[in-house]
């Protein structure tokens, strides 16, 4: 099955193929025949110091529907955003793991069973790499992946240190759970594939919320003062600046200049691990 995308769809820059080659591949098997093919990037040895116990962040990347498949390649090859943290310019100052699973055509990131298996997969990956900093697990992605991210942090609050769902959406069920994770929502206001707003935001399964709607709801309930942000690009801006379809707002995040603040914001977030929480409690 192949999906047809508009002619003004984003294409990867020259050199993305070289970044893709830095990723290793694997396959993870879950319950009842469930599996994920995935690609992952491991920080180079030069980042590991002289035998010191160094821990690295993990960036979980969730692709959109245009990369659904079973080839374990398209999720990185189709856009720059999946490989942006693998660039030397980033790894030299922010060495990190990158994990890029691929969703099969017969699944969807927003399905509950897929969401649960994705979390199991992430936990298993962390358990097999003891140099991952469990207080700095980040998740980002676009479109269908943005929907998946929002469901993931609803279902597993207080796990991810920060989330950047790009041109995503969700329903109103459990919307307040999003207040347990710092979130930066990204959307173009003239996106017609996934809309930034679907009207008056509400709660419950009867309401479908775009990024602008989600932000309005979370602002209303954010009594914990969690860092919740929203960037909405005005009508015509994506076409004028990048020459792409308004849905392709992920290009702003992967762009060297436009996305710098977003990338640094995400990597600046830290979550207290269970061990740190116990330590804080025992010292009171």
> Residue 24, Cβ neighbours under 10 Å: how many?
10
* Strand positions, DSSP E, 143-250: 162-166, 169-172, 183-188, 204-210, 228-233
Q: What is the tens place of the pLDDT at every residue in 141-183?
A: 999 999 999 999 999 999 999 999 999 999 999 999 999 999 9
Least confident residue range of 94-108, 119-133, 149-163, 194-208: 194-208
Q: What is the tens place of the pLDDT at every residue in 53-66?
A: 789 999 999 999 99
Q: In the prediction, which pLDDT does 1 show?
A: 40
Tally: H helices and E strands in the chain: 10, 10
* pLDDT surpasses 80 at 224: no
> Residue 165, Cβ neighbours under 10 Å: how many?
30
If pLDDT is split at 50, 70 and 90, which confidence band does 140 have? very high
Distance CA 234, CA 246 (A): 10
| Higher local confidence (pLDDT), 201 or 17 | 17
* pLDDT surpasses 50 at 281: no
The structural domains of the chain, ordered by start, are 27-45+53-270 (3.40.50.1820)
If pLDDT is split at 50, 70 and 90, which confidence band does 283 have? very low
- The three-state DSSP-derived secondary structure of 194-219 is CCCCCCCCCCEEEEEEEHHHHHHHHH
DSSP for 24-59?
A: EEEEEE-GGG-EEEEEEE---GGGG-SS----EEEE
201: Cβ–Cβ under 8 A, 6 or more apart, which residues?
172, 207, 209, 213, 214, 216, 217
Distance CA 138, CA 258 (A): 19
């Amino acid at each position: 099955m192949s999906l047809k995308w508009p002619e003004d769809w984003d294409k990867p820059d020259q050199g993305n193929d070289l970044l893709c080659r830095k990723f290793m591949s694997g396959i993870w098997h879950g319950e009842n025949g469930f599996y994920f093919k995935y690609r992952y990037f491991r920080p180079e040895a030069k980042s590991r110091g002289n035998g010191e116990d160094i821990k690295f962040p993990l960036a979980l990347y969730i692709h959109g529907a245009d990369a659904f498949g079973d080839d374990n390649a398209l999720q990185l090859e189709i856009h720059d955003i999946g490989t942006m943290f693998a660039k030397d310019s980033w790894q030299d100052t922010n060495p990190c793991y990158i994990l890029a699973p691929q969703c099969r055509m017969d699944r969807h990131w927003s399905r509950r069973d897929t969401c649960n298996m994705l979390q199991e997969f992430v936990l298993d990956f962390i358990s097999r790499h003891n140099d991952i900093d469990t207080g700095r697990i980040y998740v980002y992605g676009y479109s269908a992946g943005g929907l998946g991210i929002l469901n993931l942090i609803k279902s597993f609050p207080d796990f991810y240190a920060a989330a950047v769902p790009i041109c995503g959406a969700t329903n109103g069920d459990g919307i307040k759970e999003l207040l347990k994770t710092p979130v930066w929502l990204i959307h173009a206001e003239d996106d017609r594939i996934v809309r930034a707003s679907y009207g008056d935001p509400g709660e419950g399964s009867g309401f479908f919320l775009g990024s602008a709607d989600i932000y309005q709801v979370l602002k209303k309930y954010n009594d914990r003062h969690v860092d919740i942000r929203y960037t909405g690009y005005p009508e015509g801006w994506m076409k004028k600046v990048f020459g792409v379809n308004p849905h392709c707002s992920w290009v702003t995040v992967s762009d060297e200049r436009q996305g710098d603040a977003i990338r640094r914001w995400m990597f600046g977030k830290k979550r207290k691990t269970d061990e740190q929480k116990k330590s804080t409690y025992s010292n009171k």
